[in-house]
Amino acid sequence: MGPALRCAGLLFAAGLSVACDRAQTQSRHDSLAKIWEEFSGEKALAHVQAQVDFGPRPPGTEAIEKTRDYLTKQLELSGWKVTRQPFSDATPRGKIEFVNLIATFPGKGNGPSFLVCSHYDTKTFDTARFVGANDGGSSTGVLLELARVLARRPDLAQKAELVFFDGEEAYESFTETDGLYGSRYFARDLVAQDKKFRGGILLDMVGDRSLTITLPPASPAEMARDIFAAADALNLRKHFTYFDRDIMDDHTPLNEAGIPTIDLIDFDYAAWHTPGDTIDKLSAESLRAVGAVTSYYLSEMALK
């Protein structure tokens, strides 16, 4: 080999070494990423806007199918595998077809051990246009952004199962047979398969500009303590407190199935179940606050 070729070879080898060092540095950075700092309220709000643009999204409608397609595409872009869980159930409006979406992250571990959930349907109204910006939209936007930041930490992502419930809303009133259709079916299926999860977190109505997350008083004590600790660590504790009465929500069937699940919900929301639940009531900062606390809780506590 001549001097020029030898020099070129050395330079090529040095370039490979630098490239490898950079790749290893990036890999280490990703493995140590503080995902709560990566969470973007603006990106979460853009996901809410996309859902609102589809219009009202009750089960069995064209709009909710468009929403499913959107959710699936966004999750797959972040590297998640999405499975549809279709089922039908009797409702006060007759038999309705529902579809839960379940997202898992590929990895070599033992599979997911912790649930992170939201509902993506909107309540059915015959005489009002209800787009559910906060109620259904906000939590789903946060969960999509959580999927993106969790993907920065594959070691964490593969321990989480993301679930988007259909049919959370009751057609008449919440009873044992009306409302929570998706979570009740999902919980029954877990029991039937004897599939175990260490715990879960449910997000619902988390985008109000005047944010006050109101944990149900019956929340699993250790989980509530850790959520408050995560909020303290990020100087966001002022946004988290307890509600004055219990709340029936998608966490209820999961707890009944033996999976301790906490509900992060802002039930102090004047536009709840009204046509006024529009995107102007939300803020990217509120979404960021909930997303950051949830990310911190998952990274530093639930998924460790």
d(CA 149, CA 153): 7
Question: Are 17 and 160 in a shared domain?
Answer: no
Q: Per the structure, how many domains does the chain have?
A: 2
Question: Are 132 and 207 in a shared domain?
Answer: yes
pTM: 0.90
- Domain of residue 193, residue span: 37-302
Question: Are 227 and 241 in a shared domain?
Answer: yes
Contacts (Cβ under 8 Å, ≥6 apart) of 142: 44, 118, 203, 206, 207, 287, 290, 291, 294
Question: Are 154 and 233 in a shared domain?
Answer: yes
Question: Are 124 and 68 in a shared domain?
Answer: yes
pLDDT in the model for residue 31: 53
Q: Which token pair is 36?
A: 């709560």
pLDDT in the model for residue 4: 43
d(CA 206, CA 290): 7
Question: Looking up tokens 């590929």, which residue turns up?
Answer: 106
Question: Are 148 and 210 in a shared domain?
Answer: yes
| Ordered DSSP codes for 180-218 | -HHHHHHHHHHHHHT---SEEEEEES--BSS--EEE-TT
Phi/psi of residue 82, each to 5°? -110, 130
Amino acid letter at 167? G
Question: Are 244 and 177 in a shared domain?
Answer: yes
d(CA 185, CA 88): 9
pLDDT in the model for residue 157: 97
Domain of residue 252, CATH code:
3.40.630.10
Residues of the chain falling short of pLDDT 50: 1-29
What would the pLDDT profile of 261-277 be if each residue is shown by its tens digit?
Answer: 999 999 999 999 999 99
d(CA 302, CA 304): 6
What would the pLDDT profile of 134-191 be if each residue is shown by its tens digit?
Answer: 999 999 999 999 999 999 999 999 999 999 999 999 999 999 999 999 999 999 999 9
- How does DSSP classify residue 135? I
pLDDT in the model for residue 216: 96
Question: Are 9 and 113 in a shared domain?
Answer: no
Question: Are 63 and 131 in a shared domain?
Answer: yes
Question: Are 25 and 138 in a shared domain?
Answer: no
Q: Which token pair is 120?
A: 């993506």
Question: Are 9 and 85 in a shared domain?
Answer: no
